[in-house]
Structure 1
Amino acid sequence: MRHLNSSQTMPFNVGAARAQLVEQIRKAPRSPTPSDPVSYLGSPVPVLGLRVPTQRAILTTFAKAHRDLTASEVNSLAVALWSGEVLEEKALGIMLLDRFAEILDGASWALADRWVDEATGWALSDALASGPIAKMVRRDRPRFSEVLRWTRSTNIWRRRASTYAMHDLVFAGELDQPFRILEKLLYDDEFWVQRAVGTWLRECWKRDRRRTEAFLRKHIRGLPRVLITVATERAPKALRDELRRGR
């Protein structure tokens, strides 16, 4: 039960909350989008063109007014938003889980895991994996073994998601598990996976330059060119040239 401004109490209404959020999304100002936003975002889901800060502002206002939501209520509202027709509604469902990450439970994990296969395109996939999934992986370490299995998936977005799920571990400087994930995907055939591996090797390099360079040198034979390019964006040119010669 919740205390309202009117001093009345009533249960949380998922349908009403979704309708309120969707109305705000539909009425929010839109920004210029790429000529073909669907192709740009790599997803078949229609796009309204809201900026991410606009979406975050909508969710922040909602979250401040509903601080005492339970995990079950958060999950239910996230499902309702994910069922929406446009990318911004689905993105808000992801942001909702991320905002309430501290209270997420096993059902939340099952929900996010199911979405991994549905979140096609880097915009949804990366937000889901680097947001609520990454937080749950770092908080509940047994989840890592599940993410490790994702590296063998036939779905390229699940394989890519396994790298972005390392977000919180990498940013905390806890690199043992991220390196295990990245090692599994070093020679992946898909461009979007190669680029993701390069991205997270670059982030690992920022935190432990010596270890990351040793890792790259050890596995240099046959590394995809795009992986090396992205992984060494911040590295000295000499290292980049060395790795390119070695591949």
Structure 2
Amino acid sequence: MPRPTSVEDIEESLRRAASPDQVQLIAKRVPRDQIIGVRMKYTFDLAKSHRDLDLDVVRDLIRSHWYEMRMVAISILDARARRFAPMTPERTALYELYLGEHQHIDTWDLVDRAAPRVVGEYLLDRSRSPLHALSRSSNPWERRTAIVASFWIIRHGEPDDPLTILTTLADDPETFVQTALGTAVRELRRHHPEAAVEFEKDHTLSRAAQRAAGVGRSDPITK
């Protein structure tokens, strides 16, 4: 695979790998006019092999009109986050880039690809106030980030902040917020069962949340 170093190089590499059948598949979740038509495996491999791309280029990729270019950028953030400890300046730069460009992170899979590590792991030993602020956002994708980032805290920390966020969003009208909420409830059942019982006693899950929380049903979140 070639090693592009600019936005134009990334786009050229993606277009060489495009196929019409992928446009049909991706159009089920993304507006057709934003799709190049590239298999996700190629997109993820491209990001992994270029995880050291300059962050200014990554920022430009996030701002791209094209979905796959945004996915490359978000996947680079996730790949980089796996290489550095949360307290390093590198992780701060990744976290700030994700939140600073959130208006361009506008599909469930873009959120899910990076929010657990880039945001959740970063905040594990820091104040969770940014997650609470996101949970009150008018942008549904920022609200989804608040929940998806909380997965890391549910799995590796205490449940108090995630529970507060879930309570804030328990009646959220957006389906993609509700599916994330259901997955969070499933994670609570695994890691903090008593807290999950109390939450479910006080809140009636929507159908979307119930499906995501159900045994054997998984909302697709990056591990």
Normalising by the residue count of structure 1, what TM-score does the alignment of the two structures yield?
A: 0.71
Q: Letter of the 2:16 partner, please give it.
A: K
CA apart distance, 1:156: 1.4
Q: Kindly report the root-mean-square deviation, in angstroms, between the aligned alpha carbons of the 2 structures.
A: 2.8
Q: Summarize deviations over 1:113-143 as a string: whole Å, max 9, x none.
A: 13223322212233242342233223x512x
SS in structure 1 at match of 2:65: coil
CA distance in 2, matches of 1:52, 1:183: 34
Gaps of 5+ in 1: 1-14, 236-247
Is structure 2 residue 5 aligned with structure 1 residue 20?
no
CA apart distance, 1:193: 1.4
CA distance in 2, matches of 1:80, 1:35: 26
CA apart distance, 1:188: 1.4
Confirm or deny: 8 A CA contact 1:194 1:226 kept in the other structure.
yes
Mark the structure with the bigger radius of gyration.
1
SS in structure 2 at match of 1:49: coil
Q: Summarize deviations over 1:212-232 as a string: whole Å, max 9, x none.
A: 123211334xx4232233223
SS in structure 1 at match of 2:201: helix
CA distance in 2, matches of 1:45, 1:166: 32
Ranked by relative contact order (alpha carbons within 8 Å, sequence separation 6 or more), the top structure is: 2
CA separation of 1:19 and 1:162: change in aligned 2, threshold 3 A: same
Give 1:1-247 correspondences, 5 Å limit: 16-28=5-17, 30=19, 32-33=21-22, 35=24, 37-38=26-27, 40-42=28-30, 46-63=34-51, 66=52, 73=54, 75-101=55-81, 102=84, 104-138=90-124, 141-142=126-127, 144-172=128-156, 174-220=158-204, 223-234=205-216
CA distance in 2, matches of 1:132, 1:79: 15
CA apart distance, 1:45: 6.1
Confirm or deny: 8 A CA contact 2:23 2:36 kept in the other structure.
no
How many residue pairs get aligned? The number is 208
Confirm or deny: 8 A CA contact 1:198 1:228 kept in the other structure.
yes
Calculate percent identity across the aligned residue pairs: 24
CA separation of 1:135 and 1:50: change in aligned 2, threshold 3 A: farther
